[in-house]
Amino acid sequence: MNKNISIQIEPLDYYFFGGEETFNSGAKEITNYHVKSNRTPQQTGLIGLLRHALFEGGHPHNIGNSFDGTNTDFGYLKKISPLFISDSNGNILLPAPANITPQKGIISIAFKNEGAFFKNGEWENYTVAANNYDAKYGLGDWWINISTSELVESKNIFTTKDHIGINKQKQLDNRSAEGGFYKQEFISMTKGYSFSVIAELDESVIPDDLPRQLPFGGEKRTFAVKYKQTDFPDWQSIQTKTRQAFLPYAGNNPCIILLSDTYISNLDELNSYLSFAIMDESPFRNIITPGSVRNFGNFSRNPVEGGNKMYKTRNVTYLLKRGSVLFLKRGKADDVSTMLDNQSFQNIGYNHFLTYNN
């Protein structure tokens, strides 16, 4: 038997979620001196946090292993929903569809039979007009309240703070003290907001036994963690509300809107099913924490014999970014849905989407 619980994760101060931009990743073997935090954690980071919570909560032998692309055996943790943000009033916010301009105007897509062009080995008999889009201003950066459909700008949820120093020895061990300048951009959340996720746990797990504070992300910043067993919406009901909130952005053509970052095994095949898309990519590389690890601050750059240290995977994978809007060719909705239906990634909160007008 399993049970669902709601988990709220609130940063107590500025935090740092690392990405591909690190102090050691500069071009031409030049050490990078400026790194920026991601605003939100990866789904695999959330899995790691909850495995840590299970470890500290009296289940050290039932935390499973890290996600490796196929493995979803996380012991007493069965699966999690995509990340969302909740506020102190109980509202739920998800990343808004990408086809919104900074001025809140909707980018509408019109397919006009005014010509032909060659795409993916065949001729298309229409041109595409992206109305209300101005390249000078780009795309908007919004979250959406799924109950009220209100748009909330990201800068009202997240703020940044630069930490500047001249001695980052553990990252700059090949540089002199004089050349050891670094700049690190941290993030904080506006008071009243927190990261949230719905997790499915083994029935034997008692949330009251799980820790209320845990280190999380780069620099091991402290986060408050709250667990609710009752009186919260499940992920299915969140999806139902989101479908209605996203409806104005779907337009009149068949489309798919991504609720989470999404793994695609064959981008060329996906592209052959699309008429147009408004999308971005997100780099994905996770930290592997073997089930045998007992010190969650013990990190190595490579796998260690005996599995007593965490390490970062070598290869980076690029996911389609949540909020991306995919406009489909007629009759291709099932083909695209089949490509997106990846159970392993869905179990960790990726590859969740909504289909419209199919």
Q: Could you read off the pLDDT of 293-303 as tens digits, one per residue?
A: 666 656 666 66
Q: Are 179 and 168 in contact, with CB atoms under 8 Å apart?
A: no
Phi then psi for 31, rounded to 5 degrees?
A: -65, 130
- pLDDT confidence band for 42 (50 / 70 / 90): very high
Q: Tell me: pLDDT of 245 over 70.
A: yes
Q: For residues 103 and 353, which has the higher predicted lDDT (pLDDT)?
A: 353
Provide mean pLDDT across the span 52-57: 92
20: nearest Cα among 277, 292, 328, 313: 313
- Write down the pLDDT at residue 300: 60
Question: Mean pLDDT over residues 225-239, rounded?
Answer: 95
Q: Rounded mean pLDDT of 47-72? A: 84
Q: Is 9 helix (H, G, I), strand (E, B) or coil?
A: strand
Lowest mean pLDDT of 20-24, 136-140, 248-252, name the range: 20-24
- Dihedral of CA atoms 46, 49, 50, 55 in degrees, nearest 10, equals 160
**pLDDT greater at residue 194 or residue 33:** 194
Task: State the pLDDT confidence band at 177, using cuts at 50, 70 and 90.
Answer: very low
User: Among 7-11, 90-94, 163-167, which stretch is predicted with the lowest mean pLDDT?
Assistant: 163-167
Q: What pLDDT shows up at residue 28?
A: 46
Please say if the pLDDT value at position 27 is more than 50: no
| Buried-exposed string 307-330: b where 16+ CB fall within 10 A, e elsewhere | eebbbebeeeebbbbbbbbbbbbe
Q: In terms of Cα–Cα distance, which of 80, 36, 69 is closest to 313?
A: 69
Nearest residue to 152 via CA among 167, 140, 165: 140
- Check residue 216 and give its pLDDT: 92
- How far apart CA 358 and CA 355 sit, in angstroms, is 7
At residue 110, the pLDDT reads 82
Averaged confidence pLDDT in the chain: 85
Residue 85 neighbours by CB under 8 Å, 6+ apart:
92, 93, 94, 143, 157, 193, 194, 195, 196
Would you state the pLDDT for residue 171? 47
| Pairwise pLDDT comparison (350 vs 68), residue with the higher score | 350
The total number of residues written for the chain in this structure: 358
